[in-house]
Structure 1
Amino acid sequence: MTEMIDYGRFADRLAPPRPRWDLLREFQEEWGYAVPADATPWAKWSEDEHQTYIRRLKGEWTGEEDDEFEGVDFSLAVPQALDEWWELPFNSFTHSPRLYWTNPVYPPTVRPDPSGYGVAEGLPKDNPYVGPDDDLRVCVFKAEYEYCNEWGYLAAEAGQDDPRVLVTISDDEWVPQARSISEFFVQLAVQRLPASLGWCLRLDAGDFPGAPVGERLDAAYRPMGFEPWRELGVHSLAYGGPDVIVHHDRENACDFPVTISARTRDALAAAARTLGWEWDDAQVEPPAE
């Protein structure tokens, strides 16, 4: 990690027409991620699952077996970007899922879920995403580890290659999470990898005397270009600087609303000084092995 990377310019890298999978690969490499030599990737399908799915697509389902795809609408296409992500040879989720604390849902299941397993509702008729006479369902492809939050795309946009992503903030409320599926997976990596693979500080707002930490972040760093991250009650903004990423939960919904992650210990120390934190070695987390 000899070359400094300014994550304050990340929004420029994120902007179209930049291929998102190239950006995901680069980001992982920048934080030292490599697919473990002994990794067995999380399979999108088991052989039996795939055979059953194809039978359902072909209308060969007899109805006598247990229906493991009861929550799937077979008339809806699966967006191209979702299948592409599963097949990426460098995919850090499929090879190292314990870094992520989320569950994939494949094939995506609709909400409301006719199987009764999914917890979220569909969209209300009065919503900002589709008209009241359009399909109000959401197709969920990812969930928080205990399904407290679910991420999905609009059933009305299932035919698009790379539709936008919504997230639940309650059982009956969906809000924007990413402008596309491919952007979501870059954002998920930004949320998860730096705190594990880099040098990390997790701090409370009370650790910053004087001006509120949000004001200091706005003055010192640039937003990375994502929608706020919504999970477990947080409303987290990602800021970038030289070799450093800072996540700030403006709702203070978690124990440590400020997480500073850096590619080097020196970059972590510089960010801590910039934000006015008094250094304490006991709170510093080195990169995970």
Structure 2
Amino acid sequence: MTEIIDYGRFAERLRRVMPRWDVRERTSPEEFAEHLADTSPRWTLLREFQEEWGYETPDGGPVWPRWSEDEHKAYLRRLKAAATGEEDDRFAAVDMTLPIPRALDEWWDLPFNSFTHRPSLYWTNPEWPPTVRPDPTGYGVADGIPEDSPLAGPGDERRVCVFKAEYQYCNEWGYLAAESALADPKVLVSIEDGWVTQSRSVTEFFLQLAVERLPAHYGWSVHLYEAEPELVERVRRTFPELGLLPWRELGTETVTYGAPDAIIYHDVREFSDFPFIVHARTRAALERVAGTLGVDWTDQLEEPAAEQERAGPEPLSLRAGESDPSEPVDRPDGLG
């Protein structure tokens, strides 16, 4: 990693490729649809980000092919079938009349898709085909869009199509059923207060998910149990935000800041085990961030998990409901 990448300029890279929803009211539906359909530069940014942090697509096909089923969901279906003699329809929670956004289809087919090749890095389950909320089978936990939500107007379709979920379905990510015909619709996340916007498009969501997961595995890290107000204020004054919306998962609301070869993660709700985390592409970059902020993290530096991995066997890629005793229980992103 000889080239220094300034993630303080990441927001500029994002603006150049991501959908501009502010033009929707000023363009015809056809023009806006064409704008959303231009996804190739967005996938290029995802590939570049993955490579910048050291991800290499392994040989062979995907570990988690598109039509794989959540192991826990399949287990429950088998239990019910054994007890009742009847097996539930695997696609009972899917509305087959709804189109699937093109960007979601494309993501599954990306040859460099780091989830399908290394799902154990991600702590999430995909839903394919996307399932609707409210879920008629009762498996998905979230409701639809409430009547008083600004996400949908009077008389609008209020269902959400979920395509990703946190391992225990504490959070679910999806798009409005009313926007399912769009090539790259906005992504919502279910939190304790209902649905809120997580990302401005499906393509941005998968980039943001990579930002949340890959540096934790491939980068040099510092995890702090407390985020002192003075330190947070210095970060806000010194380092620009990445341009992504706050990441919402397991009660957290994490804002990301960019530095040369490093990304800073601050959970403004301090709900995570580590509300202040820094991941850097090199040890020197992590030390530069510390020097810029006027702190000493010498005794708290953690080498990349990827380096430890190279010294031992390749970890298993897991489906939901499975566990690998060789992997730590705590998530590398500090979410418990």
Unaligned 5+ residue runs, structure 1? 48-63
CA contact (8 A) 2:222 2:297 kept: no
TM-score normalised by L of structure 2: 0.77
Deviations 1:45-78, CA, capped at 9 Å, x for gaps: 259xxxxxxxxxxxxxxxx963111100111100
**Does 36-45 or 99-108 show the bigger shift?**
36-45
The alignment status of 1:14 with 2:24, answered yes or no, reads no
**In the alignment, what sits opposite 2:260?**
242
> Distance between the aligned counterparts of 1:253 and 1:147, measured in 2?
18
Could you tell me which residue of structure 1 aligns to residue 207 of structure 2?
186
Query: Residues 1-289 of structure 1 correspond to what in structure 2 (within 5 A)?
Result: 1-17=1-17, 19-37=41-59, 40-45=62-67, 66-170=88-192, 173-205=194-226, 208=228, 211-288=229-306, 289=309
Provide Cα deviations, 1:67-101, integer angstroms capped at 9, x if missing partner: 11110011110000001000000000110011110
Q: Aligned pair in 2 of structure 1 residues 39, 282: CA closer, same or farther (>3 Å)? A: farther
SS in 1 for 2:51: helix
Counterpart contact for 2:240–2:258, Cα < 8 Å: yes
Q: Which runs of 4+ in 1 moved over 4 A?
A: none
CA distance in 2, matches of 1:240, 1:7: 4
Identity among equivalent positions (%) equals 60
3-state DSSP of counterpart to 1:84:
helix
2:290–2:297 contact (8 Å) kept in structure 1: yes
Deviation of 1:270 after TM superposition, in Å, equals 1.0
1:114 Cα deviation from its structure 2 partner: 0.5
CA distance in 1, matches of 2:68, 2:119: 17
Q: Deviations over 1:228-270 (max 9, x none)?
A: 0000001100100100001100100011111100011000011
Give the equivalent residue in structure 2 for 1:51: none
For the 8 Å contact 1:71–1:114, the answer to whether it is kept is yes
Q: CA deviation at 1:284?
A: 2.1
State the alpha-carbon separation in 2 of the partners of residues 238 and 282 from structure 1: 20
SS in 2 for 1:236: strand
The letter of the residue matching 2:291 is R
| Secondary structure at the counterpart of residue 304 of structure 2 | coil
Which structure 2 residue ranges, 5 or more long, are not aligned? 19-40, 70-85, 310-336
Match of 1:118, as an amino acid?
G
Assess if the C-alpha contact under 8 Å between 1:126 and 1:132 holds in 2.
Answer: no
* Structure 1 residue 122: Cα displacement: 0.3
RMSD, aligned CA: 1.8
Q: Tell me the number of residue pairs that the alignment of Structure 1 and Structure 2 aligns.
A: 269
TM-score normalized by the length of structure 1:
0.89
SS at match of 2:174: strand
Moved more, 257-266 or 31-40: 31-40
Distance across 2 between alignment mates of 1:268 and 1:279 = 9
Shift of residue 285, structure 1, vs aligned partner: 3.2
Give the conservation status (yes or no) of the 8 Å contact 1:214–1:250.
no
Give the conservation status (yes or no) of the 8 Å contact 1:200–1:287: no
Give the CA deviation at 1:42: 1.1
